[in-house]
Amino acid sequence: MRYFLLGFLLLGLVVVSVAGFRGGITRRPPIELFPDMDRQAKLRPQSAHGFFPDGLGSRLHPDQTIPRSQPVLVAGTPVHPFEDHPFNTGYEPGTTNFVQHSPVPVSETLLARGRERFAIHCQPCHGAAGDGKGPTTKYGMVVIGNLHDPRIVQQPDGEIFHVISEGRNLMQGYAANLTAADRWAILAYVRALQLSHLATLEEVPEGLRATLK
Ligand code: HEC
């Protein structure tokens, strides 16, 4: 009986405390057991504040500040990293269609850079020849894309750029590791690798034909 009374009392207390004050309005601040850092002195952006002599809450950039994003020259036009430009996205601006051709003109330095970056970032899995037989196949990575697969050869430049940037299926993206310029350089080198596999014997200079395997 004692336990029943105690339980009844507690139950009544719970019902009153939960239901009793519903809809009640109070102007007093709620009791905060753990205020953490909910309220703190701060300046609101774009509003007046008396703290600084000029009365502005926001500060102007200090002299000689260097912007965080520098434009990259793409075929002579400056392109910022935040712009909706094929150089950044691999898409035709404002659409979800991949660009057919890289916006970066191919040059020997671009290919050399692409080759070097490919060796660092792609070769471990895709192999030096791009056939998907890199060292990691020995350690259990079995389904690595063969870059000479006709399906991949036929992909637009923008799509391969997208795969390098965002990844696809089992492959992770490399946008965090490689600048957009380097990703386009790698694409150019991948195209060179693909071309090397598609070339006919007649396209190889005569003196070099005997050295082919
Ligand atoms: C850690 C291993 C690994 C690395 C490093 C890697 N890839 Fe891949 N890649 C894969 C795997 C695995 C696939 C197959 C993904 C699938 O279809 O599941 C793939 C697929 C691809 C494909 C084909 C995508 C498609 O449409 O099927 C391309 C193109 C490609 N990789 C390019 C690259 C390039 C360029 C680099 C260097 C920046 C790179 N990969 C680095 C593992 C890797």
Query: In this predicted model, what pLDDT tens digit does every residue of 64-76 receive, in sequence order?
Result: 888 777 889 998 9
Q: Find all residues with CB under 8 Å of 73, minimum gap 6, and list them.
A: 79
pLDDT at 202 over 90: no
Task: Tell the residue nearest (CA) to atom 20 of ligand 1.
Answer: 145
Q: Does 213 score more than 70 pLDDT?
A: no
Please say if the pLDDT value at position 212 is more than 70: yes
Top CATH class, 90-202: mainly alpha
Give Cα separations from 158 to 81, 136, 137, 150, 166 (angstroms). 16, 27, 27, 16, 12
Beta carbons within 10 angstroms of residue 111's beta carbon: 16
Q: How far is the CA of 190 from the centre of ligand 1 (A)?
A: 12
Sorted by where each begins, the domain ranges of the chain are 90-202
The residue contributing the CA closest to ligand 1 atom 2 is 125
**Atom of ligand 1 at shortest range from CA of 149:** 23
* pTM for the whole structure: 0.73
Residues 79/72, Cβ–Cβ less than 8 Å = yes
Q: Which residues are within 8 A (CB) of 106 and not within 5 positions of it... i.e. 6 or more apart?
A: 188
**Residue 203 CA from chain centroid, whole number:** 39
Query: pLDDT digit string (tens) for 115-159?
Result: 999 999 999 999 999 998 888 988 888 888 899 999 999 999 999
